[in-house]
Amino acid sequence: MISNLPPSPFALPIIGHLHLLKQPIQRTLHSLSEKHGPIFSLKLGSRLAVVISSPSAVEECFTKNDIVLANRPHFSVSKYLNYNNTTMGTVEYGDHWRNLRRINALEIFSSPRLTSLFSIRREEVMVLLRRLHGVSKHGNYAKVELRSMLLDLTSNIIMRMVAGKRYYGVDVKEIDEARIFREILEELFAYISMINVGDLIPMLQWVDITGHLKKLDRLSKKMDVFLQGLVDEHRDDRDRNTMINRFLALQEEQPEYYTDDIIKGHVG
């Protein structure tokens, strides 16, 4: 196996090639590809990574060898925030993955279902247009920070489809709940971009020098309480046309499979 690996720069003991990965990372990888070819390997601590910059090789990876490369490496962040790697984006390729994919295609994101939720998208776009009109209603040119408005639009559409709630912009009813949701999302984006040294160098896994695991554990518990609250709320109100209620209907049919953790992991 080792003899068949793509070419690689000289690696240091324990850390491998971690010392070579300098910002901006894309330029570093481009520089390495010029030296070692369009396909080369790197040792990220104890983990092996193969870098591919050839379009034809990338195409082959995602067509002829898509199943071979279907699994994603498990890191601490996915363990804590994806219910121990049981969500579609992190679970290993197999029966569970295929079932989640089938549910997405036939139940959650099917054309009829998305059509039934069209009014949500239309209403949220109208909210955005009214905000833009309010900025320019006096007929003067005005600078608009569109990025935050589009984030509000996207977040509200997703959360209304998932749970029937608005957490951004105007007309937010559950103020405290919305604040907690925004805090969770802000922490989530911050933590998923961090690297836990223990994921790359196993001997440091239990040291948690940076406190990264402690933060992930705290956030995972905060997320679980929030998501469980949404699931429990929907159990008392089954009339809403939401993703959570659709999963609860599936749970009634197969309670041993569609556990609360599966539902929370899928909608979280």
Mean pLDDT of 7-26: 93
The answer as to whether 183 is a domain residue is: yes
Confidence of residue 27 (pLDDT cuts 50, 70, 90): very high
165, two tokens: 């709630």
Instruction: Domain count for the chain, please give it.
Output: 3
Same domain, 181 and 223: yes
The separation between CA 167 and the C-alpha centre of its own chain, rounded to angstroms, equals 19
Displacement of CA 156 from its chain's centroid (Å) = 17
User: 208 CB contacts (<8 Å, ≥6 apart)?
Assistant: 198, 214
C-beta of residue 44 within 8 angstroms of C-beta of residue 17:
yes
Which of the four pLDDT bands, split at 50, 70 and 90, describes residue 139? Answer: low
Q: What is the pLDDT of residue 233?
A: 95
Distance CA 123, CA 111 (A): 19
Looking at the fold, whether 93 and 205 belong to one and the same domain comes out as yes
Place of tokens 């940076």: 210
Burial class (CB in 10 A: 0-12, 13-18, 19+), 184: middle
Among 118, 186, 187, CA closest to 157: 118
- Residue 222 falls within a domain, yes or no? yes
Give the tens place of pLDDT for each residue, 32-75.
Answer: 999 999 999 999 999 999 999 999 999 998 888 888 888 888 89
Residue 223, φ and ψ in degrees, nearest 5: -65, -45
55 in a domain, yes or no?
Answer: yes
Residue 111 lies in a domain: no
DSSP class of residue 109? Answer: S
**Among 170, 191, 211, which residue terminates a domain?**
170
Amino acid identity of residue 173, one-letter, is K
Residue 231 belongs to a domain: yes
